Structure 1
Amino acid sequence: MPTSVELRQERARVVESLRAITEAAEAENRNLTAQERESYERHEREFGDLTERITRVEAEERRALEMGQPLDRGTGGGGTGGGGGGGDDRAGERRAAFAQFLRRGRTALAPEQRALVENSDGEILVPEELEAEIIRSLPALTIFRAICSVRTIGSNRVRRRSLGEVSVGWGKLETNAQTLTDSMPGTPTEEYTYVEDLYGLAKIGEDELDDSDVNLEAHVRDSFARALGETEDTAFAIGTGHAAHQPVGMMTTAGGVATVTAAGATAVTVDDFIKLIYAVPAQYRRNGRFVMASATELQIALLREDGATGAYLWQPSVQAGRPNTFKGYAIDNQEDLAAVATAARVAVFGDFNAGYRIYDRLGMAVKVLDQLYAEDGMVGWKVRKRVGGDVIRPDALRILVMA
């Protein structure tokens, strides 16, 4: 029997399939074909079925957690035997032990401590199942995890080797119509993307710790996700790189993304954004979208096709969960990007999934600070997450910079 985490992952894949069907039709400005409509309806039924199963399985997991017992999932065929549930049993044991650790610290763990893993710094690692749920919460709070590629790694850095593009030509070698030459001269450059340490602090009142483990776990997910999400999203946008112990922000010069200069210094025009769109190669432009601050979006929302009398080019979202658009491309807001001002980098356009990559290193760790805030009637949780980010294909993105 699958866990609620696995069911949610399966439901997320169904949602992606639904989105792909609608986006294909919208890109061609048409209704769904009969085949697409049949596929869409089938995926909708799958979404409903999975939602019902998730609700049922989560209820079972909550009951098991409240009783401090691992959930016995049987052998996968619907039975209640313990032959195939060892992995799920250990997962439930880890989560129950972790809840006790958050409540009372290391001293109260006793036999439950065997279910927890400690790192070299003496910190307790967040159980993998709970860590996966926290990471899945981040895209709902931020934008870049939802639009960029994400990779899980197990090292402190990732090596990237840069090569020149391959040259090709027509003609037969045997008739000397083509000469095969080394199209990639020189030695490839070697570069690294580093995984940085991100710390967060969540505090909770001692009285609230008397609530059930279920409420405590929900509080952990919410607090950790918020403590981490906004900070890492800022770094993916404007982080200054490894020297400052931050990811490389796509809007910084270190990211290597080419720029398009606006005509003016204090106001944007329709022409500025058309130039920005067409500065991105066609293969990346077809999956393009904008990222800018809300103040910049407000300026383009007032732009018209023909001065003060033409139609507005900015279009508000007509469906919940879908972004506003400009010239047919989606707009996401990231408030750490600069507002329109002289020489400011105010917007970025392109295929973010191809252009920027986020690196997660598994092993989110927690230290319980049960003495530091005791006078205030609080218990603190210091959380450490290891994450990096870097531009992997500068050609997939372009930045609009004011004159």
Structure 2
Amino acid sequence: MADKDAVQEVMEAFNEFKRTNDENEKKRSAALDEKLDKINKVFDKHEGTGQQLLLIEKQNKAMQDQLDAIEKIANRAGLGGGSDPQAKAAQEYLDAFDRVMRKSPENRDPADLTLIRERSAALIKTDDASAGFLLAPPDMQREIIKNVIELTPIRSLATVRSIGVGSLKMPKKVGNGSASRTGETTKRTNTGDPAYGMLEFFAPEMFARIEVSQQMLEDADYDLAAELREDAAEQFAVREGMESISGTGGNAQMEGILTNTSIGFTLSGDASKLTADGMIALYHDLKTAYARNALWGLNRNTLGQVRRLKETTTGQYLWAPGIANGAPNTILGAGYAEMADMPNVAANSFPITFADWKKLYVIVDRLNVSLSADYITGADDGLVVFRARRRVGGGVRQAEAGRKLKIAAS
């Protein structure tokens, strides 16, 4: 739960924001625009809290999905006896997880947390957002996941699969059959067959090459190798985030959601700016089954503009703070994730996406981050060459699970 001072500051700012924006709509002035920008900075200051709540909520759901999978293992025939090692390990994990989830972070038993970390990789082979780095060593895992969550929230929202070959193939239904009516003794003819295709997601290589002097390695009073590993992980995360939005796809890059032409779009209703009607239309254009779990994706500049939008008939603001209730902030009642690589609002751009991200996008991990030191190549120049590698890919797997907002009147 956010502290009382933060809640009070946000709610007071929100009330002042609404008063100022309402006044600015009646008599436009540079002074009022400047005041709105200042209040927006107050919201931005606390936006991290909302984003953390959103990601925690998603991660808790992913953990619960893992827990359900383990319960299935524990309840299988032949695994119920206490002498069965797999059942015993699963039950220990269940008990530790239950104790951890029932306590606040400061009161959790370190032994339970250690057991969960150790058993997760051994017991769980899953495709959800928390499985991206199960094969990495524990210290590497914490660093990389921290960076990915901060810089690339799509990994915490999308489906993540670990693969043992160069690509992931997924069958996809591309055509439906049909049904008809017939009389009691009328001949039944074929009404049409469903059709199936295959999606393939490659895991091309990312790399980072870093040169460090031998003397720096010798004289540094901290773990320089760990620092380089963290920096490489951060750069991989930045690259992954960029490609997931605008990558070219295929066997060279991840496919970007803005590159994929199969994802439908809704017009904003104006040639150069956001409108409340356009946002509302986008919300309702996504099928209900996906909208239930959908989140908005947009950058911070766009978010600042969304905060000013109101429904035409009711005057209700589309954006609402959730900090007072310990919940994520919302747009039209749905959560959102800041995505730095989404474009700004401009004519014919696609600055906002509304999607069920787990259905829309898949990330495939073939090789997690590895770091090797080469003391030979640069030895004559007093250099040590560090090479970091990672094999990861991804793309759109179910285009109808998301929609984009296009800034255009028609």
TM, length-normalised to structure 1: 0.63
Instruction: Report the counterpart of residue 97 of structure 1 in structure 2.
Output: none
- Which SS does the other structure have where 2:258 is aligned? coil
1:149 aligns with 2:159: yes
The amino acid across from 2:253 in the alignment is Q
Pick aligned residue for 2:367 from 341, 362, 369: 362
Q: CA deviation at 1:344?
A: 0.8
Structure 1 segment 125-144 matched on structure 2, within 5 A: 128-129=137-138, 132-137=141-146, 138-144=148-154
Instruction: Report the counterpart of residue 400 of structure 2 in structure 1.
Output: 395
Instruction: Report the counterpart of residue 94 of structure 1 in structure 2.
Output: none
Instruction: Report the counterpart of residue 105 of structure 1 in structure 2.
Output: none
312-321 or 284-293, which deviates more: 312-321
Pick aligned residue for 2:315 from 306, 310, 317: 310
- Which SS does the other structure have where 1:268 is aligned? coil
Question: Could you list the per-position Cα deviations for residues 344-381 of structure 1 after superposition, in whole angstroms to 9, with x for gaps in the alignment?
Answer: 11111010011100000035433424466679876442
Following the alignment from structure 2 to structure 1, what is the Cα–Cα distance between the partners of residues 250 and 168? 12
The amino acid across from 2:351 in the alignment is V
- Which SS does the other structure have where 1:271 is aligned? helix
Structure 2 contact 177–192 (Cα < 8 Å) conserved: yes
1:162 aligns with 2:172: yes
1:198 aligns with 2:242: no
The amino acid across from 2:338 in the alignment is N
Following the alignment from structure 1 to structure 2, what is the Cα–Cα distance between the partners of residues 132 and 220? 15
Instruction: Report the counterpart of residue 239 of structure 1 in structure 2.
Output: 247
Instruction: Report the counterpart of residue 193 of structure 2 in structure 1.
Output: 184
Structure 1 segment 4-153 matched on structure 2, within 5 A: 16=60, 43-45=101-103, 48=106, 50=108, 52-53=110-111, 128-129=137-138, 132-137=141-146, 138-153=148-163
Q: CA deviation at 1:274?
A: 0.8
Question: Could you list the per-position Cα deviations for residues 74-123 of structure 1 after superposition, in whole angstroms to 9, with x for gaps in the alignment?
Answer: xx9xxxxxxxxxx9xxxxxxxxxxxxxxxxxxxxxxxxxxxxxxxxxxxx
Structure 1 contact 357–391 (Cα < 8 Å) conserved: yes
Structure 1 contact 276–399 (Cα < 8 Å) conserved: yes
Structure 2 contact 361–397 (Cα < 8 Å) conserved: yes
Pick aligned residue for 2:259 from 252, 259, 271: 252
Aligned residues: 306
Q: 1:258 to 1:16 in 2, by over 3 A?
A: same
Following the alignment from structure 1 to structure 2, what is the Cα–Cα distance between the partners of residues 215 and 198? 24
Instruction: Report the counterpart of residue 344 of structure 2 in structure 1.
Output: 339
Q: CA deviation at 1:181?
A: 3.9
Q: CA deviation at 1:299?
A: 1.1
1:271 aligns with 2:277: yes
Following the alignment from structure 1 to structure 2, what is the Cα–Cα distance between the partners of residues 310 and 19? 39
Following the alignment from structure 2 to structure 1, what is the Cα–Cα distance between the partners of residues 199 and 232? 32
Structure 1 contact 160–191 (Cα < 8 Å) conserved: yes
Structure 2 contact 174–197 (Cα < 8 Å) conserved: no
The amino acid across from 1:288 in the alignment is A
Q: 1:218 to 1:53 in 2, by over 3 A?
A: farther
Structure 2 contact 58–157 (Cα < 8 Å) conserved: no
Following the alignment from structure 1 to structure 2, what is the Cα–Cα distance between the partners of residues 53 and 152? 28
Following the alignment from structure 1 to structure 2, what is the Cα–Cα distance between the partners of residues 202 and 386? 18
Q: CA deviation at 1:49?
A: 5.6
Question: Could you list the per-position Cα deviations for residues 121-170 of structure 1 after superposition, in whole angstroms to 9, with x for gaps in the alignment?
Answer: xxxxx965555445433223321111111000011122233323544659
Following the alignment from structure 2 to structure 1, what is the Cα–Cα distance between the partners of residues 187 and 142? 56
Question: Could you list the per-position Cα deviations for residues 278-326 of structure 1 after superposition, in whole angstroms to 9, with x for gaps in the alignment?
Answer: 111101100111101211111111112349x934321235179964321
Percentage of matched positions with identical amino acids:
23
Q: 1:49 to 1:204 in 2, by over 3 A?
A: farther
Structure 1 contact 247–389 (Cα < 8 Å) conserved: yes
Question: Could you list the per-position Cα deviations for residues 158-198 of structure 1 after superposition, in whole angstroms to 9, with x for gaps in the alignment?
Answer: 22333235446598x99569958454355x33342211111
- Which SS does the other structure have where 1:16 is aligned? helix
Structure 2 contact 257–395 (Cα < 8 Å) conserved: yes
Following the alignment from structure 1 to structure 2, what is the Cα–Cα distance between the partners of residues 320 and 210? 51
Question: Could you list the per-position Cα deviations for residues 41-90 of structure 1 after superposition, in whole angstroms to 9, with x for gaps in the alignment?
Answer: 97232755656337889xxxxxxxxxxxxxxx9xx9xxxxxxxxxx9xxx
Structure 1: gaps of 5 or more residues: 1-11, 21-38, 58-72, 77-86, 88-125
1:297 aligns with 2:294: no
- Which SS does the other structure have where 2:386 is aligned? strand
Pick aligned residue for 1:215 from 197, 209, 223: 223
- Which SS does the other structure have where 1:336 is aligned? coil
1:325 aligns with 2:330: yes
Following the alignment from structure 1 to structure 2, what is the Cα–Cα distance between the partners of residues 177 and 217? 77
Structure 2 contact 353–405 (Cα < 8 Å) conserved: yes
Structure 2 contact 100–112 (Cα < 8 Å) conserved: no
Structure 1 contact 159–192 (Cα < 8 Å) conserved: yes
Structure 2: gaps of 5 or more residues: 1-55, 65-96, 123-134
Q: 1:141 to 1:376 in 2, by over 3 A?
A: farther
Instruction: Report the counterpart of residue 101 of structure 1 in structure 2.
Output: none
